[in-house]
Amino acid sequence: MTRRYPGRVIVLTIVFCVCLLCLAVQYKYSDGAKFYSYRLVPFSWPARIESWDYRDTAAEKQCFNGDLQTSGSDNNTLQKIPNVVHFIWGLKDPDIDSNARKFSFANYLAIRAALVSLNPDQVKLHYSYLDQTSEWFQKAQHNLTLVYHDPHAMSKDIPSTWHTAHMSDVLRLQILRDEGGIYMDMDVYAFQPFDTLLRGAKSAFMGHEGGNRFGLCNGVIVAAKDAPFLSRWLKTYDDFVEGSEWNYHSVVLPKQLEQKYPDEICALSPAAFFWPTWSQGDVDFMHEPLSTAEAVDVQAVVDGNKGALYQNQLAYHAWNQVAFRPYLLHLTPEKIMAHDTRFNILMRRFLE
């Protein structure tokens, strides 16, 4: 007869669960930018995204510093990337697009951050539909070059039946292929100049998404005109089927292309643009109230990192899909000054 030990099984199960919880809190950063991942189950997908040792790889450091040599080509022949910022707004009629939003203070702040941090030659706002009566657009417009994209003409290359996000995914690649420059989503806040990238060793730069570096996010793309990586990436949209995926072509696929064609693109560390991540825990971390002592610590970290929360952080993607309703929608200049959060502390220097 086989003996059964139900009590022992229960005890071992409890011990196993406790061990998992202990592992969940092992990732923390010990200064004002510290983050605890205790909300997540270890080995789950969010836990793998959020967990990172805050160390850049050797290649990421070389990409960031602009001294990575490209095999088989002379760095001096690479076309310089122009210091021109491209934003995209309103590709669908807001009367029929349920995802359409008004031009908000948070969007204005993204433009301000680009102007202050990047000192660009131009900031272009590419649009099809734009309410130019918006208070915050009017405050920003004297610093913008407006570029209209006729929706009917655009539909020849980008089907209007696609989700707005996927339409924008293709348009940003077309813009950079034709003009070069810096593309940023309207919820990306630049902290430092991109100078080392603009004169860097390769013709395209992107940042890793997630601590496990599972993808390269298209929320920020820095590229020269006619960069081979862009044309290669654009070609893959010939087989795109709306509704079959969300971020494969925009995050996962560019990582796969980078692994196949490493001479065409520099992949930067998660901290460069996309840290903390899009998980609810990470977004809450950026917007949670701080005590006076915590605020002092965070300000010291930001001052030490030249306006950023992390070393070698050039910008922060605020993850609008997660952060908009609970946080970004309610932002005002007064709230940024009055309430101490990591996000607000980072944004204060961009207020006029």
Tell me the C-alpha distance between 46 and 8, whole Å: 31
Residue 158 neighbours by CB under 8 Å, 6+ apart: 167, 170, 171
Mean pLDDT of the region 140-147: 97
Q: How confident is the model at residue 72 (pLDDT cuts 50, 70, 90)?
A: very low
Closest CA to 263 of 70, 128, 27, 59: 70
**Residue 26 scores a pLDDT above 70:** no
- pLDDT computed for residue 100 by the predictor: 72
Q: State the pLDDT at residue 15.
A: 56
> For position 49, what pLDDT does the model report?
58
pLDDT given for residue 37 in this prediction: 36
3 or 252: which leads in pLDDT: 252
Q: What does the pLDDT look like over 234-278, one tens digit per residue?
A: 999 998 888 878 889 999 999 999 999 999 999 999 999 999 999
Of 31-40, 95-104, 190-199, the poorest mean pLDDT is in 31-40
Please write the tens of the pLDDT for every residue from 314-333.
999 999 999 999 999 999 99
Query: In this prediction, what percent of the chain has a pLDDT beyond 70?
Result: 82
Q: What is the pLDDT of residue 14?
A: 64
Based on the number of CB atoms within 10 Å of its own CB, is 148 exposed (0-12), middle (13-18) or buried (19 or more)?
exposed
pLDDT band, residue 10 (cuts 50/70/90): low
pLDDT over 50 (residue 40): no
Q: How far apart are the C-alpha atoms of 154 and 171, rounded to whole Å? A: 9
Residue 198 pLDDT more than 80? yes
Predicted confidence (pLDDT) at residue 1 exceeds the cutoff of 70: no
DSSP states of 18-85 as a string?
HHHHHHHT----SSTT----TTS-TTSHHHHHH---S---HHHHHHHHT-PPPTTS-GGGSPPPP-EE
pLDDT (average), residues 109-126: 98
* Enclosing H/E stretch for 310: none
Q: Highest mean pLDDT range out of 156-165, 240-249, 305-314? A: 305-314
Q: Which of 310, 263, 305, 304 is nearest to 286 (CA)?
A: 310
Top-confidence residue, 206 or 241: 206
- Answer whether 222's CB lies under 8 Å from 314's CB: no
Q: Is the pLDDT assigned to residue 132 strictly greater than 70?
A: yes
Helices and strands (H and E) in the chain: how many: 16, 9
**Residue 239 or 43, more confident:** 239
- Which pLDDT score, from 0 to 100, does residue 201 have? 79
pLDDT at 194: 97
Give residue 70's pLDDT. Answer: 53
Q: Which token pair is 180? A: 């070069």
Token reading at 217: 């996010």
339: helix, strand or coil: coil
Res 45 pLDDT > 70: no
